[in-house]
Amino acid sequence: MGDIASWAFLIGVLLVLALPLALAIASLWLWGGARRGALGHLMAGALLLVSGAVFYYVQVINVFARMDNAYLFNIIFGLYFMFLGVTLLAGALVGYGVPPWLAALLWIASVVFAPAGISWLAKALPDEGVLLYAAILLGSVLLYMVVRSHFIEVLIAVCLVSLGFALIWRIAGLTMRDFTPVTIVADEYFYKPPYLDLGAIFTCVMLATVLFFAGRFIQGLLRSQRPPAVAEVVSPD
């Protein structure tokens, strides 16, 4: 009976991991594709990238959390959400004018060189490597959008993603104390951040989905209000 329960749990986890990835990849072609869903890709990707980095970070900087198997989801889903976030941000770049082949190369570089990049950043700030990596990736995408004069869409994305992350923060039970490194194993330093549970995971996935479709709707409204010549340049399809 125990073996059956273990296999059922493993299959359930694999399905939970596979479904969002399949939807993220499919969204590059479905529901308007990358071009018409660029803002949705941006907001969903930003939320997943930031949330994943935070989930992973609060576990890795706390020595007590690293010794507790209850934080396994922080590692698995933290890294997985970051991977999904990078994938969606690559789709957003395509929607905002980056050639698909270049976006694919940037995605490969971001994923393949992530461990080396985080390790390199950790040399400067040992405890903040993963957060810096996420910040650099997201900041680069937003900077590209500003250069391309998508100011309003950047502002909308920052506001809505911030609201979504604030809700995830509250549901996950995070506090500023969770961002304080704990490196000494002693009773007077004992503290553990909240571990990632199914409620926070579900909330993160659902909010990313809502932001994706909300972004697609908002982008359609914004582009419909532009002059025909401008709309044709921005969205040639």
List, as one string, the DSSP characters of 20-79: HHHHHHHTTTSTTHHHHTHHHHHHHHHHHHHHHHHHHHHHHTBHHHHT-GGGHHHHHHHH
Q: Is the pLDDT of residue 103 over 80?
A: yes
**Mean pLDDT for the stretch of residues 52-73:** 89
Give the whole-angstrom CA distance, residue 87 versus residue 116: 19
Give the DSSP letter of residue 182.
B
pLDDT in the model for residue 236: 47
Structure tokens at 182: 């704990």
pLDDT in the model for residue 51: 94
Q: Is the pLDDT of residue 23 over 80?
A: no
pLDDT in the model for residue 11: 64
Q: Report the half-sphere exposure of 23 (CA within 13 A, side-chain side).
A: 17
Radius of gyration of the chain (CA): 19
pLDDT in the model for residue 119: 65
pLDDT in the model for residue 48: 94
- 62: phi then psi, degrees, rounded to nearest 5: -115, 115
Q: Would you place residue 111 in the very low, low, confident or very high pLDDT band (cuts 50, 70, 90)?
A: confident
Q: Is the pLDDT of residue 16 over 70?
A: no
For a pLDDT cut of 90, what percent of the chain falls above it? 30
Q: Is the pLDDT of residue 4 over 50?
A: yes
- For the chain, the first-to-last Cα distance in angstroms comes to 55
Q: Would you place residue 152 in the very low, low, confident or very high pLDDT band (cuts 50, 70, 90)?
A: very high
pLDDT in the model for residue 145: 92
Question: What is the pTM assigned to this prediction?
Answer: 0.82
Length of the chain: 237
